[in-house]
Chains A and B, each alone.
Chain A
Amino acid sequence: MSWILILEQSLNGLQFGLMLFLLAAGLTLVFGIMDMINLAHGSLYMLGAFFAATLVQATGSFALGVLLAIPATALAGMLLEVAVLRTLYARDHLSQVLATFALILIANEVVRIVWGSDLQMTMPAALSGPVQLLPGMPYPAYRLLIIGVGLAVAALLYVLVAKTRIGMLVRAGASNREMALAMGVNIQRLFTLVFGVGAALCAVAGAMLGPLFAVQVGMGESILILAFVVIVIGGIGSIRGALVGAVLVGMVDTIGRAFLPHLFGLFLPPQFASAAGPAIASVLVYLLMAVVLFVRPQGLFPARG
Chain B
Amino acid sequence: MKNRLLALAAGFAFTMLAASAGAADKVKIGFVSTLSGPSAALGVDIRDAFTLAVKLNGGKLGGLSAEILIGDDQFKPDVGRQLAEKFVKLDKVDFLTGYVFSNIMLASIPVAFENKVIYVSPNAAPSPLAGKQCNPYFFAVAWPNDAYHEAAGQYATQKGYKSTYLIAPNYQAGKDSLGGFKRFYKGKIADEVYTQLGQLDYAAELAQVRAAKPEALYIFLPGGMGINFIKQFVASGLSKDVQLITPGFGSDQDVIRPVGDAMLGLFDTSHWALDFDNPANKKFVAEFEKEYKRLPSVFAAQGYDTALLIDSAVREVKGKLDDKEAVRRALKAAKFASVRGNFKFNRNQYPIQNYVLRVVGRDAQGRLVNKTIATVFKDHGDAYVQDCAMK
Contacts and interface: CB of A to CB of B under 8 A. Distances in A.
Interface of A: 1-2, 4-5, 8-9, 12, 15-16, 116-118, 120, 122-123, 127-130, 138-143, 211-214, 216-217, 254, 257-258, 278
A18 to B, nearest CB: 13
14 contacts: A5-B211, A8-B210, A16-B201, A16-B203, A118-B40, A127-B235, A130-B237, A142-B235, A211-B231, A212-B201, A213-B228, A214-B200, A214-B228, A254-B204
Contacts of B224: 214
A142 B231 CA distance: 11
B232 interface: yes
B247 to A, nearest CB: 21
A118 B36 contact: yes
A123 B37 contact: no
Q: Is the interface of A mostly helix, strand, loop or mixed?
A: mixed
A130 B200 contact: no
A122 B259 CA distance: 9
A120 to B, nearest CB: 5
A216 B37 contact: yes
B234 interface: yes
B210 A128 contact: no
B133 interface: no
- Which interface residue of B204, B258, B262 has the most chain A CB atoms within 10 A? B204
A5 B210 contact: yes
A257 B204 contact: yes
B40 to A, nearest CB: 7
A278 B262 CA distance: 31
Nearest to A9: B207
A56 B264 CA distance: 25
A213 B199 CA distance: 9
A8 B206 CA distance: 10
Contacts of A254: 203-204
Contact of B203 (A1, A15, A127, A216): A15
Contacts of B237: 129-130, 138, 140
Contact of A4 (B170, B211, B262): B211
A118 B232 CA distance: 19
B342 interface: no
A258 B237 CA distance: 20
Contacts, number: 77
B51 to A, nearest CB: 19
B201 A213 contact: yes
A57 to B, nearest CB: 13
Given A141-B235, A213-B200, A5 B38 contact: no
B204 A9 contact: yes
Given A12-B203, A214-B37, A257-B204, 17 more contacts: A5-B210, A116-B36, A117-B37, A117-B40, A128-B235, A129-B234, A129-B237, A138-B236, A140-B236, A212-B228, A213-B228, A214-B200, A214-B224, A216-B37, A216-B38, A258-B207, A258-B208
A12 B207 contact: yes
Contacts of A117: 36-37, 40
Contacts of A128: 231, 234-235, 262
Contacts of A257: 204
A213 B228 CA distance: 7
Contacts of A123: 231, 235
A140 B36 CA distance: 29
A92 to B, nearest CB: 26
B313 to A, nearest CB: 34
A120 B234 CA distance: 17
Contacts of A212: 200-201, 228, 232
A114 to B, nearest CB: 14
Interface string B147-188: 000000000000000000000001000000000000000000
A120 B237 CA distance: 22
Nearest to A255: B204
A15 B236 CA distance: 14
A12 B210 CA distance: 14
Contacts of A1: 211
Most chain B CB inside 10 Å of its own CB: which residue of A143, A214, A216: A214
Contacts of B37: 117-118, 214, 216-217
Q: Which of B38, B235, B236 is most buried by chain A, counting CB atoms within 10 A of its CB? A: B235
A12 B204 contact: yes
Given A118-B36, A118-B40, A214-B224, A258 B204 contact: yes
B258 A120 contact: yes
A278 B197 CA distance: 13
Contacts of A16: 201, 203
Nearest to A120: B258
Given A130-B237, A212-B232, A2 B200 contact: no
A117 B39 CA distance: 11
Given A130-B235, A138-B236, A143 B36 contact: no
Contacts of B232: 140, 212
Nearest to A136: B210
A109 B131 CA distance: 43
Contact of A8 (B207, B228, B231, B262): B207
Contacts of B38: 118, 214, 216
Interface string B25-45: 000000000001110100000
Contacts of B236: 130, 138-140
Contacts of A130: 235-237
A141 B232 CA distance: 11
A2 B235 contact: no
Contacts of A4: 211
Interface string B46-73: 0000000000000000000000000000
A278 B195 CA distance: 9
Interface in B191-230: 194, 200-201, 203-204, 207-208, 210-211, 224, 228
Contact of B235 (A12, A140, A216): A140
A129 to B, nearest CB: 6
B368 to A, nearest CB: 15
